[in-house]
């Protein structure tokens, strides 16, 4: 599928996009749009500092490797609430995320962000697609990510893909931390992601959750901050699958293989409840 790129001259306003998301509740088709969105985005140093604090990243000359998701969030929202997008944004489930850090994310004040969707596939509970996000500067590509999203209730021909293999390397506990009841609100303030299922028990119950649950991308950011001594500074990718949600508040336990050019990672709750599993490896 060839992407039809549209260059935006300013970052979309989130308030209107949230209203559009709240008023669209029906599946309107089974074809992904060919449109992609691009925009130059300024990096807000104060927001980066706040993001580091919320996600556990130390001070550094490099952007946190998960921060480009924040730079891209408004563009992603505009794409996923567009008239041609067939699935309602509220109710989409984030199943997996892969990040590639192609070059060091240092000395960045302005970048071009690009977003599009691809790879519509059948799933046992509906259909999945990939939300693809890229960053580049004047020298070329810096960073790329794919978020696999599930829309329940969609009917597609074909068989669901086989599940990914389990981790194979020996894992040891690296650290554990407490996810407080208000971490969803803290993360929303630095990321712009005010999905009601993350904000409070009262708002989460409106969508069938007994308690608020942690943002998947906050969990991945917190994991990558803890893995900073295990991962290269650039030239690597880390892919995770989100499993059982982290109900707030709760303690989580991070297990990891040894530092190196490749490795496995797992995030558990008490009673070995699996919240996340993943792998990292150097880029070829």
Q: Count the neighbouring beta carbons within 10 Å of the beta carbon of residue 38.
A: 18
Q: What is the pLDDT of residue 270?
A: 87
Q: Could you give the CA distance from residue 138 to residue 279 in angstroms, rounded to a whole number? A: 30
pTM for the structure as a whole = 0.94
CB 91 within 8 Å of CB 24: no
Is residue 165's pLDDT more than 90?
no
**Each residue of 145-160: pLDDT tens digit?**
999 999 999 988 887 7
Is residue 164's pLDDT more than 70?
no
Which one of 9-23, 32-46, 166-180 scores highest in mean pLDDT?
Answer: 32-46
CB 107 within 8 Å of CB 138: no
Q: Could you give the CA distance from residue 226 to residue 217 in angstroms, rounded to a whole number? A: 14
Phi and psi torsions of 87, nearest 5°: -115, 140
State the pLDDT confidence band at 61, using cuts at 50, 70 and 90: very high
Is residue 163's pLDDT more than 70?
no
Is residue 168's pLDDT more than 90?
no
**Segment 85-107 mean pLDDT:** 95
């Amino acid at each position: 599928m060839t992407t039809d790129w549209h260059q935006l001259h300013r970052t979309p306003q989130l308030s209107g996009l949230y209203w559009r998301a709240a008023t669209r509740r029906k599946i309107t088709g089974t074809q992904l749009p060919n449109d992609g969105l691009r925009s130059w985005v300024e990096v807000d140093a104060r927001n980066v500092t706040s993001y580091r604090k919320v996600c556990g990243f130390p001070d550094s000359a490099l952007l946190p490797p998960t921060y480009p998701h924040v730079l891209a969030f408004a563009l992603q929202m505009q794409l996923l609430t567009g008239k041609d997008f067939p699935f309602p944004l509220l109710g989409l489930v984030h199943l997996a995320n892969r990040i590639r850090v192609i070059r060091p994310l240092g000395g960045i004040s302005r970048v071009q962000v690009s977003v599009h969707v691809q790879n519509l596939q059948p799933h046992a509970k509906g259909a999945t697609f990939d939300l693809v996000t890229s960053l580049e500067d004047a020298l070329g590509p810096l960073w790329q990510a794919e978020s696999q999203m599930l829309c329940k209730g969609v009917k597609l021909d074909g068989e669901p893909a086989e599940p990914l293999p389990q981790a194979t390397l020996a894992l040891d506990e690296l650290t554990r931390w407490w996810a407080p009841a208000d971490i969803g609100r803290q993360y929303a303030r630095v990321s712009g992601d005010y999905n009601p299922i993350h904000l409070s028990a009262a708002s989460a119950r409106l969508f069938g959750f007994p308690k608020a649950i942690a943002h998947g991308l906050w969990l991945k950011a917190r994991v990558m901050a803890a893995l900073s001594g295990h991962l290269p500074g650039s030239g690597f990718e880390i892919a995770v699958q989100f499993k059982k949600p982290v109900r707030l508040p709760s303690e989580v336990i991070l297990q990891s293989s040894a530092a190196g050019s490749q490795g496995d990672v797992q995030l558990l709750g008490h009673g070995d409840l699996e919240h996340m599993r993943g792998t990292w490896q150097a880029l070829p």
